[in-house]
Structure 1
Amino acid sequence: MKKVLIITYYWPPAGGPGVQRWLKFVKYLRSFEVEPVVYVPENPSYPIIDKSFEAEVPPGIKVLKEKIFEPYSIAGIFSKKDTETISSGIIQKEENQSPLQKAMLYIRGNYFIPDARKFWIKPSVNFLKKEIENHDYKAIITTGPPHSLHLIGLNLKKETGCKWIADFRDPWTQIGYHEKLKLNESSREKHEKLESEVLNTADHIITTSFTTKAEFETKTSKPITVITNGFDSEVNSNTVEKKKFEVAHIGSLLSGRNPENLWKALHQLLDEHKDFRKEFQLKLAGKVSEVVLESIKDSGLEEYLVNEGYVSHSKALQMQRQATVLLLIEIDSIETRGIIPGKLFEYLASRTPILAIGPDKWDAERIITETNSGKVFSYADAPKIKEHIFGLFQKYQQGEPVRDSHDIEKYHRKALTGKLAKLINGI
């Protein structure tokens, strides 16, 4: 069985989507004759904790740990909330930033390059160099962000000659918040130089989106493979009886993802069709911005709204299967074209039709279209959105099945791990 060394910052008990990708790969790699060894920080500063993920770590997996110096732990003395927000990449518009937030962003962008985990690079290289010399590894894999982990891979590649795969869960210099870090010209050049060195030194590059792959292809001739995120539940093969024509959004719905034209379209349908008024329900689960809730209220939808708040993951999966239509919303900008929300894959497994609203040339549209799992609209498509929803409602009224998706199994985490294992074996 071939061994690979996986270098990741996020690992249980960390919560959120960042931990799930490599936790799931580790879960299935042994099925493809690959033995994973995982390297993580001993004392990380995670913004989200979810101890339930610990139960998914396969028994007997070797986990190496080395201490990390975390500047965010010091910054948290001044403002824990601001520190956790910035460390997770959520940055407010400049006009809404406090003087402390502006100062923290300037320091983060210009003094911690590529990011605040840079202090883990040198001790990790010293520690792992001995590990690689004493054990036979087929390859090492670094995953970022934080992109400082790719610099661990870069240095290990230079010092040991090991095969190295760099996995980009998000872009580097083209990530949505990069321009908000108040970078001076020198800092910008350092980011670009480090990114170029990583892209042109790694033996293989993995991205989670087609847009990021296309961007990197302009910067390197090294091979690049897209391995998206996926789902780890069974594909729903049962038809769940629908008690209402329920349009649902499961997950965070923040102010930047406020589909006002959707609310207007729903209001018009309620105003024009008596049957729609009797059957319609709008259900939200997860953190919802007050801006979004106010917009829903202003559109006359408040009496039809069921706001569940935060729910467990198992409850979320159940709600996805019970809904008639699932909403997938992304910010309308060029920078978000390459974002494929993790919940899309759970939506696919539920086999509930998806109504997606996002930017033009959105990567999620490619997946939704090829699996015939729903329809994708721009924010300006109010008439088309209204027509589509009413068409689904008519099928619902007539008892016709509204789902006709296919080719979903290739997005199961085990199938995606098979793709990764093939890449590892071929390197």
Structure 2
Amino acid sequence: MKKIMLVTYFYPPIGGAGLPGVQRSIKLVKYLNNSRITVLTVNEADYPDYAVLNFNRKLPIDGETIIRTTFKNVFDYVLLIRKVLKSLMINGRDQKQVVPARITNIAAPPLKKPKANFWQKVKDYVYELCNFPDYASGWIIPAVATGRRIIQKQKFDVILATGMPWTALVIAWILHRLSGAKLVVDFRDPWVGNPFDTSKGWFLDRIKSFLERRIVTDAALVTANTTVLRDEFIARYAGKVDTRKFMVLPNGFDPDDFSNLATAEPQQSTEPSPHLILAHAGYLYGKRDPAPILEAIRHLDRTGMASAESFRFVQMGNIHLEYDFHERYRDLEERGVVVDLGTFAFEECLGKLKSSDVLLLIQPGTKSQVPSKLYDYLCLNRPILTMTPLDGALGDLIRENEFGDIFSPDDVAGIASRLNELLREKQEKGGLWADYPNRVRFDIRNIVAGLEQRMDEILVRPETA
């Protein structure tokens, strides 16, 4: 059996916005059948305060060894030093002027930042340095130190890391250099060229590109969760590395996750349901904006085609958009159209999705990413309505596999027309349901088996090939 060290920041019990990363990690552990796995991850107590720890899976998942390490946020130490120095300076002038320092939650910045002065810009840059390559950078030193002790005691065939956060890939790369084990890196999202990322300045952007290039060059296998992302890697590294090392490793559904849910069968009703329930599960942030759906509902209401009260937009997950969501759609909230339920544990979220009529995918602004929730949606037998660029990875996948309706995010009229059709269909039939035969292509058991086969191939020595 292969001995694998899996480096992952996300592991149970973290859930919420970290759920896609957790699911990716535990499915690798669960279905890499011919492997003995050691998981290198973060102490539960060291996840940030805003992390949601509600993914209560019994550990170990499948006999893996779990090694948890500390997390040291460098910026916290910078703030502490600043606080001490400021206190000493004030004490040196006038003891009565001492004011207790107050450190705000830097994880949730204001929606509109005031114009920064010079010292604020310096502070912001120091913050970016301390949080490079991402928010998990404080994990690098503890994880490398712990990982090095482990690899001194036992030999690993493969060091496998999944990102983001990209810190996990950096840790795995360093441990690969220290141990000589084969390096396999899994990109759940783009690192360089991620449309949801913002520039950290010329210097840090160059270092980011350098790190990705070194990690990809040294890796024996690089996996990407979409064909578009794999093709981006091939285009970027053609002539520099053997592009056969890039493979597609899509997300998928695990039949076990749905074994406790009753089968979604059509339910006929003599009385029409009062409204169409549109459900979205997941974090709304940046460009992942539900505005096209809500504006479509407003359009139907204004034109008299359907009352806004005929719809319920149900959000399950945190909201942190570039505007005040609740202020902009206060009128719809007051009319009961918008319902913000907050976060839920995974199993409870599946139950609420199943009791909905239409499941929403919101993925504007990127052509290389496919949200992992799609695969869970497929097993709930409900109509899926997707808003994404029509020529991107998600658009291609939806069309090729006939996974519901797809609209460009700017096609408010088209979305409105489809919502009206779905509302009428529900009122006539008493319920909505769908079947997706092509979902069998995304059974996670088969997907991970393909990864294991490729890892076996890279471990075969030339003399035995």
Q: 2:402 aligns with which of 372, 380, 384?
A: 372
Closer, same or farther: CA 186–36 of 1 in aligned 2, 3 Å = same
Closer, same or farther: CA 202–54 of 1 in aligned 2, 3 Å = same
Pair 1:228-2:258 in alignment = no
8 Å CA contact retained: 1:157, 1:164? yes
8 Å CA contact retained: 2:5, 2:37? yes
Aligned to 1:328: 361
Structure 2 unaligned segments of length 5 or more: list them.
Answer: 81-101, 459-465
Q: 2:425 aligns with which of 392, 395, 399?
A: 395
Closer, same or farther: CA 41–275 of 1 in aligned 2, 3 Å = closer
Q: Which moved more, 1:281-290 or 1:343-352?
A: 281-290
Q: 2:56 aligns with which of 37, 46, 53?
A: 53
Pair 1:263-2:263 in alignment = no
For 1:92 and 1:160, the matched residues in 2 are separated by 45
For 1:178 and 1:275, the matched residues in 2 are separated by 38
For 1:205 and 1:176, the matched residues in 2 are separated by 21
For 2:75 and 2:47, the matched residues in 1 are separated by 7
Closer, same or farther: CA 24–115 of 1 in aligned 2, 3 Å = same
Q: CA deviation at 1:166?
A: 0.9
For 2:186 and 2:281, the matched residues in 1 are separated by 27
Closer, same or farther: CA 197–208 of 1 in aligned 2, 3 Å = same
Q: Which moved more, 1:196-205 or 1:381-390?
A: 381-390
TM-score by length of 1: 0.82
8 Å CA contact retained: 2:368, 2:392? yes
For 1:208 and 1:96, the matched residues in 2 are separated by 38
Aligned to 1:385: 415
8 Å CA contact retained: 2:300, 2:307? yes
Aligned to 2:461: none
Aligned to 2:337: 305
Aligned to 2:205: 188
Closer, same or farther: CA 266–409 of 1 in aligned 2, 3 Å = same
For 2:130 and 2:300, the matched residues in 1 are separated by 53
Q: 1:157 aligns with which of 158, 171, 176?
A: 176
8 Å CA contact retained: 1:206, 1:226? yes
Aligned to 2:6: 6
Pair 1:287-2:322 in alignment = no
Closer, same or farther: CA 262–128 of 1 in aligned 2, 3 Å = closer
Give the number of equivalent residue pairs: 414
Pair 1:27-2:53 in alignment = no
SS at match of 1:407: helix
Aligned to 2:128: 109
Aligned to 1:249: 280
Which amino acid counterpart does residue 328 of structure 1 have in structure 2?
L
Q: 1:239 aligns with which of 261, 265, 269?
A: 265
For 1:101 and 1:405, the matched residues in 2 are separated by 52
Pair 1:316-2:320 in alignment = no
Closer, same or farther: CA 103–275 of 1 in aligned 2, 3 Å = same
Percent identity of paired positions between Structure 1 and Structure 2: 23
Aligned to 1:350: 380
8 Å CA contact retained: 2:74, 2:130? no
Closer, same or farther: CA 262–14 of 1 in aligned 2, 3 Å = closer
Which amino acid counterpart does residue 13 of structure 1 have in structure 2?
P
SS at match of 2:198: helix
Q: CA deviation at 1:55?
A: 1.8
* RMSD value, Cα: 3.5
Q: CA deviation at 1:254?
A: 4.6
Aligned to 1:207: 224
Structure 1 unaligned segments of length 5 or more: list them.
Answer: none
Closer, same or farther: CA 309–238 of 1 in aligned 2, 3 Å = closer
8 Å CA contact retained: 2:158, 2:182? yes
Q: 1:419 aligns with which of 450, 454, 459?
A: 450
Q: CA deviation at 1:193?
A: 1.6
For 1:130 and 1:97, the matched residues in 2 are separated by 44
Closer, same or farther: CA 138–319 of 1 in aligned 2, 3 Å = same
Which amino acid counterpart does residue 218 of structure 1 have in structure 2?
A
8 Å CA contact retained: 2:161, 2:186? yes
Q: CA deviation at 1:48?
A: 0.7
Which amino acid counterpart does residue 9 of structure 1 have in structure 2?
Y
Q: CA deviation at 1:178?
A: 4.2
The structure with the largest alpha-carbon Rg is: 2
For 1:52 and 1:237, the matched residues in 2 are separated by 23
For 2:291 and 2:162, the matched residues in 1 are separated by 36
8 Å CA contact retained: 1:25, 1:414? no
8 Å CA contact retained: 1:13, 1:53? yes
